């Protein structure tokens, strides 16, 4: 699986399934209607913008050791069939057609620039089962930045998820058609957003749950062949990470 595109950690796939399953993302549940109108990017001279208060421990920038300690371990997987996934992925550029669909995967030029300038920590824990046991994957990530993660990036993802119900994803001259829909996720952190990605070349579904908490972005992904998804495990992993960050000294 690779992670949302350019952050190649974003999506994780067993070596045998990399080509067909690589970037699909989502979190099962009830479809969430897109915003009726895009968020305003400007305010009038009379508008007052209230500064965001980020005073909780889980909203602060953390170091690599803290981020790694917050991630789930093999013991947190649902049964004994799981193992640590050691797949590796390149960081080659990805293109989208239409280009605006990069927003859906938090991989727009704005997102890339923010990562390049502000990301200080990027820790991951990835687990998978053999193909004989379904070829399942669970991947979790904690990224920490020296500036608050922009809520505008999650706004853009929600705004374009309907427009990008189908788009073309290309990496290393290899293209796939992706289908995406928003899914219902609980309120976690400052902002949470869920996606389900599928591809015509694969029978698998990738679910992604993004949670923004101040300077931190938590991502939980699963890859399975389940047509429906209740989100219980993804929500648990995300909440557990938040709870551990809350205990940061």
Categorize the per-residue pLDDT at 90 as very low, low, confident or very high, splitting at 50, 70 and 90. Answer: confident
Q: Tell me the Cα Rg of the chain.
A: 17
Q: Model confidence at 140, in pLDDT bands (50, 70, 90)?
A: very high
pLDDT digits (tens, 9 = 90+) for 12-43: 333 334 333 434 333 333 333 333 333 333 33
| Residues 204-220 pLDDT 10s | 899 999 999 999 999 99
Give me the pLDDT at residue 11, please.
37
Hey, which residues does 183 pair with through a beta bridge?
31, 194
CA-closest candidate to residue 217, choices 162, 167, 157: 157
227 band by pLDDT with thresholds 50, 70 and 90 = confident
- Could you tell me the CA-to-CA distances from 50 to 35, 47, 202 in Å, in that order? 22, 10, 46
pTM: 0.81
Burial status of residue 116 (CB atoms within 10 A of its CB: 0-12, 13-18, 19 or more) = exposed
Predicted local confidence at residue 203, as pLDDT: 81
CATH 3.40.1000.70 at 8-32+54-246, yes or no: yes
168: left (phi over 0), alpha (psi -120 to 50) or beta: beta
Q: Quick one: 216 exposed, middle or buried, by C-beta within 10 A (0-12, 13-18, 19+)?
A: buried
The pLDDT of residue 49 is 59
Cα separations (Å) of 211 from 59, 82, 182, 208, 216? Answer: 11, 25, 14, 10, 8
Alpha-carbon gap, residue 70 to 140, rounded angstroms: 10
Ranges of each domain in the chain: 8-32+54-246
The mean pLDDT value for 158-166 works out to 94
Dist CA 184 CA 78 (whole Å): 22
Residue in the block written with tokens 């960081």: 91
Question: In the structure, what pLDDT confidence band is assigned to residue 2 with cuts at 50, 70 and 90?
Answer: very low
126 backbone dihedrals φ, ψ, rounded to 5°: -125, 135
């Amino acid at each position: 699986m690779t992670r949302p595109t350019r952050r190649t950690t974003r999506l994780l796939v067993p070596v045998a399934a990399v080509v067909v399953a690589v970037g699909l993302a989502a979190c099962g549940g009830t479809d969430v209607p897109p915003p009726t109108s895009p968020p305003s990017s400007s305010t009038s001279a009379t508008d007052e913008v209230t500064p965001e208060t980020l005073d909780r421990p889980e909203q602060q920038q953390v170091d690599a050791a803290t981020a790694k300690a917050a991630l789930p371990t093999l013991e947190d997987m649902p049964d004994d069939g799981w193992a640590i996934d050691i797949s590796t992925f390149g960081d080659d550029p990805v293109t989208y057609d239409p280009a605006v669909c990069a927003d859906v995967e938090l991989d727009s030029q704005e997102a890339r620039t923010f990562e390049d300038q502000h990301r200080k920590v990027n820790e991951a824990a990835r687990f998978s089962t053999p193909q004989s046991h379904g070829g399942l994957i669970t991947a979790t990530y904690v990224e920490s930045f020296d500036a608050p993660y922009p809520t505008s990036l999650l706004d853009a993802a929600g705004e374009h998820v309907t427009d990008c119900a189908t788009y073309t994803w290309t990496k290393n001259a290899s293209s796939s058609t992706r289908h995406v829909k928003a899914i219902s996720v609980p309120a976690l952190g400052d902002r949470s957003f869920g996606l389900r990605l599928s591809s015509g070349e694969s029978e698998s579904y990738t679910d992604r749950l993004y949670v923004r908490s101040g300077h931190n972005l938590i991502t939980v992904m699963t890859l399975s062949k389940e047509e429906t998804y209740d989100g219980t495990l993804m929500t648990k992993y995300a909440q557990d990470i938040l709870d551990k960050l809350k205990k940061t000294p």
